[in-house]
Structure 1
Amino acid sequence: MSMHPRLRPTDEVRDALAEGRPVLALESTIISHGMPYPDNVRTAREVETIVREGGVTPATIAVLDGVPRIGLEDDDLELLGKAGQSVTKASVRDLAPVIASGGHGATTVAATMRLAALAGIGVFATGGLGGVHRGAATSMDVSADLTELSRTPVAVISAGVKSILDIGLTLEAMETLSIPVVGYQTDEFPSFYSRSSGYAVPTRVDTVANLARLVRAQRDLGITAGVSIANPIPAGDEIPEHRIAGIIDTALADMDVRGITGKDTTPFLLGRVVELTGGASLTANIALVKNNAQLGADLALALAAVETQE
């Protein structure tokens, strides 16, 4: 697949794609809206290093000065990290306005998927997926991440959906949208900070080679949906579900008092959880992002090997 002409890749990414070498997409909202500075920039750099050491080219995706960028330079990471939440949190619906205005946009899971697909990148590692928010029966607050997963053929590796969401309803929505949900070396769907959620995964896969076969089978069938690969946070870094549940309830109550809604909810809740856990949730977040990047690099490498053999 050729690069869409509106996209601007780094030389590193352009060369890798042209030569058929593996590339892993990474999102930028986690830099500007998911972590405080300077932890966000340091984590972004460390994640890119993990990917490169795995033999894969990292492609952190964002919109800068109105240009969709596929891969960022170090100065770009610093810009996004320092600017923080003043950068537009850009989902797919926001891409055209940000591009037309010449502004900066930190891409969500949905927007990163769409731009990765336009660039010809088929594997993407993130922290946690968006999903159905608690109280969605009245608020109708459902993340565009799910819609994008249902129609964009990119394999997305996450530590499950963010635990501030309604996990059960999110899994039901993914079933309705025909999104394959795969647990990597787990029978239970992870809940971001925790390895457990109380919900089973429909499919378990224990090796990267089998993950690559599954993703390839999905593509060969011409099914346009992506694949959601749930990769639990490492055991030594998790915050047990029974501990984080009460903290999330407190953060949700604080959000309601402040009247925060829409796309501002997730950044507020993640930040409040960091405060309530004394920074433990930030440590966990960094650990799971790195863990997902490692699996993403391994999967991208395995898929490239399969395609090279054909």
Structure 2
Amino acid sequence: MRTRATLAAVSGALAVAALVAPAARAADSGSSHRAALGAVPQASGHGRTAFTAGTRAAGAPYELNVTFSNFKIGKAYKVGPTSHVSIPVSYTLTHGADVDVTAPDFETGPYLYKGSFDDWSNLVLGDAAATCSATSSTVAACKGRIDIYAAYGDLENADAGSWTAAAEAIDWNGQLDVTDPDISKIGIADQGGLAKTLVQRTSTLTVNASPEPVKKGGTITVTGKLSRANWETNKYGNYTGQSVKLQFRKKGSSTYTTVRTIRTSSTGNLKTTVKASVDGYYRYAFAGNTTTPAVNAAGDFVDVR
């Protein structure tokens, strides 16, 4: 995975050393920010011993006097098989008097991680640093984005579901793009557990009711298919064994009522029959779950004669 590949290559003080080297930083600001802030959870996310107060190893970054709060993010985000989803967030950054958040080499940004803060299995970051506006001498209001690229391997199918929000900051203190940086002068703050959201595999649902027209009392066969995004193949795949409702809306009405509930087959297909009574629309409706959003098929009209 793209994010994991970046993170797996670096850790601890070596991560920062690699990132501040000019050759290691990408030409565009988005890529450099993704790389730079992406190293912070890797450096401090597994044990965090390098940044624990009083136990910081010699030559490691110091613990930056920054905390985060009031993190705002939506409840759920749908990601298709090749989607780029950019998630807007906001948060409050509180810092010590010795931290200059307006410095050109101070960066902060939000991210999402899957699993626990101390031992995450995946994370996604933003393409660019957040922007912050001071609300007092020690508080700033920040806005940023978290970018997910399904087509570039940011997600595996098992990643669908609940994610946790976090924020981080790096104060480079003049060590940015320095050939031989002093790692001990670089400050890092990293805080998890700020909010929860769902990252879901986009779903699709079809329906076809036939024959059309049909005689009153005749049999109508209603078929359909439930699919959802496969982030590993970058295509839609069958969603099997799921409960789906067959619903009917009488012509002239605006309300669907449930006729029965059936399950998708091993290929995600749906099939059932009903008796024709009056003109109206048939559709399938999937209620959704934590990994896959709800979806309704467009109603298919049947003329009963």
Based on CA coordinates, which of the two structures has the bigger radius of gyration?
2
Higher helix share: 1
